[in-house]
Chain A
Amino acid sequence: MSLKTASKPIFTNYTEETFPNKNVVYDTKDLNLWYGETHALKDINLSIYEKEVTAIIGPSGCGKSTYIKTLNRMVELVPTVRTTGSITYNGMSILDKKFKVEDLRTRVGMVFQKPNPFPKSIYDNVAYGPKIHGIRNKKILDEIVEKSLRGASIWEEVKDRLKENAYGLSGGQQQRLCIARCLAIEPDVILMDEPTSALDPKSTLRIEELVQELKKDYSIIIVTHNMQQAARISDRTAFFLNGEVVEFDQTDTIFTKPADSRTEDYISGRFG
């Protein structure tokens, strides 16, 4: 972890008083988001807690991806996007235009729906993030690469072929490589947008086990439309419907005694 302080810009306004409740990583208040005229997120209020797995479930098009992409402001890649309300990350207002997205994304990694390794070697894929952030020392890079690949439990499979192109890996391995690539920037939070939807059941299981392992060190927000997956791996679950949060609670509660009848309908498979 010493590498982290050496290589990253430090947020200067971080003090104990600013956020007495340290357990909240992300606090979303009255968030609204429009794609042009489409109102995609409506009055979202959500708190994401540290070192937990938070699952976001809901039918297609309900705004799950949009929400998770506001958390690292990737949603701004769509030029028509407009937001109101606030999201704080460790007490800092990230929707503030003055807040540097590069800074945020160094602390918040993202794993995408479809495995998207770069057309580079396995090694270069993992070393990409650290290099971007200015690490040039070969020995340090080697260390980061090994640590990250181990962290994503893919080291044993690839340690003898680090120089080979990442496209030679299977889909499940590629996704774990993408997780390793994300760990290499040493984030606090990992955002995962349906990370297993393109994978076979066996690879899915490995990723789920990995998520359990990772939550010891990271706060994880995972979008899934697989309710069993949400039930299996998450501590808290938010149910989205038509751009609104219908219910947000402990996963157990959501799946055993949901407060809202729409949640019950959804988890019992009546729609979606």
Chain B
Amino acid sequence: MKYINQEQVQSKMNRRLVKNNIFKTLFALATMFGIVVLAILIIRVLTQGLAWIDMDFITGKLSTSADRAGIMGAILGTLWLMIVVIPVTLILGVATAIYLELYAPKGKFQAIIQTNIANLAGVPSIVYGLLGLTVFVRAMDLGNVVLAGGLTLSLLVLPIVIVASQEAIRAVPQHLSEASFGMGATKWQTVKNIVLPASLPGILTGSILALSRAIGETAPLTVIGIPALLIPFPGGIFDTFTIMPMQIYYWTIDSSLVSEYANLAAATIVVLLVMLFILNSIAVIIRNKFQQRY
């Protein structure tokens, strides 16, 4: 006796296939929605801004006159910011991840820290701005300089770097570190020679993605009070600075006064997007190049 009746199967076949197609279309539409919106955005920005991008725009100083305005100051501001953010987040983030994954006793203490890091990753960025304003700008009396902004952004992306590094470290197969311990290696020797090299691609990928988040952040720096005025180019971490997203913000607001400012904002967006695109490509290249097989 058979349980599956061929006739019944046949009679339901069409309905099943139709349903299958409906869902396929639904999922495809959902994907299309995102792609179309993104495409519209990019096309609009490109058509509006591309014509304004030339060497003078990239290397020029800020100016109230739309024809002469350049964004070198903002680009340098972003670069100086990165010079603070990269070492601070990498050193603190990776060290924290190593400690939590490999040294901290597994228990309540570790669980509490872990939960807090996860929560910190969800705190709105403007709150970090307030923290930065209170601690770095005022209490430490740094003023609204690169260092203060960089430390603030570091705090902001630190949870992301920690979590990404932890995941990368956890993905290193246990049997590799066992082999190392089995030969009498200390924990530090094992971390340095086996765990870190194997998790480096993951750590770097996560860190670069976190950095590109930091580059695009505006809210915390607004709170810190960085200017978008005609300031001189920043030459070090103790100089005041401005950044591209900030420039975009002010130019957009002021476009009601000078309509060309909207085009400058679009042009700046293009430059910013190109920078982010390059960073993300580097992340992908690193991931593919250094990925190891276990």
Contacts and interface: CB of A to CB of B under 8 A. Distances in A.
B189 A132 contact: yes
A143 B85 CA distance: 46
A74 B175 contact: no
A109 B133 CA distance: 56
A23 interface: no
> How would you classify the secondary structure of chain A's contact residues: helix, strand, loop or mixed?
helix
B92 interface: no
B23 interface: no
Contacts of A181: 179, 183
A118 B185 contact: no
Given A119-B293, A119-B294, A133 B179 contact: no
B184 A103 contact: yes
A72 B198 contact: no
A187 to B, nearest CB: 9
B183 A182 contact: yes
B199 to A, nearest CB: 11
Contacts of A116: 173, 175-176, 178-179
B184 A129 contact: yes
Given A79-B105, A79-B106, A105 B176 contact: no
B193 interface: yes
A77 to B, nearest CB: 7
Interface residues on chain B, size class? 20 to 34
Interface string A149-176: 0000000000000000001000000000
Nearest to A104: B184
B193 A112 contact: no
Interface residues on chain A, size class? 20 to 34
A129 B183 contact: yes
Contacts of B134: none
B180 A128 contact: yes
A154 to B, nearest CB: 17
Nearest to A133: B184
A33 interface: no
B186 A118 contact: no
Nearest to B105: A79
B181 interface: yes
A241 interface: no
21 contacts: A72-B182, A74-B181, A102-B184, A102-B185, A103-B184, A112-B179, A114-B175, A116-B176, A116-B178, A118-B179, A118-B194, A119-B176, A119-B197, A119-B198, A128-B180, A128-B183, A132-B180, A132-B183, A132-B185, A178-B179, A185-B184
Interface of B: 105-106, 173, 175-176, 178-186, 189, 193-194, 197-198, 292-294
Interface of A: 72, 74, 77, 79, 101-106, 109-110, 112, 114, 116-119, 128-129, 132-133, 167, 178, 181-182, 185
